[in-house]
Amino acid sequence: MWILSPYKDALIDRDLVHRQTVASAVKNMALGVPGLGCEDTLIHLLNYVWPNIFETSTHVINAVMEAIEGMRVALGAAVVLNYCLQGLFHPARKVREVYWKIYKALYIGSQDALVAAYPVLEDVENNIFSRPELTMFI
């Protein structure tokens, strides 16, 4: 993990340009290693990328969103969804807007992969929530 130290330092730097540059680098790293067993390192980097979702600079926002999209490809949609679920129903509107933006991008990019990550709901009177096709394969 000592190789990641410059990336981690730049992701928590006060300078916007450093965070933007490293977010782009993280995106490229994530897109280069899907299926190679680097998931633990990518999750470690995602923990440093994620706090930057509340940035106000449009260039940093775009770089961070692209890094999260790269993580979606490398780690899978369910992992990113677990990060995203914490803020979808937050009391603050500004927080909700950011998390819903991430969720919508996740939904557009991996709609089919999210089905397995959704919670199982019990049927209630007239509402049937079961997914028998999915449970056959799990």
**CATH number for the domain including 126?**
1.25.10.10
Mean pLDDT over each residue of the chain, to the nearest integer: 85
pLDDT at 134 over 70: no
pTM of the model: 0.82
- What backbone torsions phi and psi does residue 33 show, to the nearest 5 degrees? -125, 15
Q: Work out the pLDDT band at 127, boundaries 50, 70, 90.
A: confident
> Which two tokens mark 28?
């490229």
Rounded alpha-carbon distances, angstroms, from residue 109 to 29, 40, 47, 76? 19, 22, 21, 11
Structural domain range at position 61: 2-137
Q: Are 88 and 99 in contact (CB under 8 A)?
A: yes
Q: What is the CA radius of gyration of the chain?
A: 17
Q: What is the pLDDT of residues 78-126, one digit of tens each?
A: 999 999 988 999 999 999 999 999 999 999 998 888 888 877 778 888 8
Q: What is the pLDDT of residues 16-33, one digit of tens each?
A: 788 888 889 889 989 998
pLDDT > 90 in the chain, percent: 43
Instruction: Work out how many domains the chain is built from and give that number.
Output: 1
19 or 129, greater pLDDT: 19
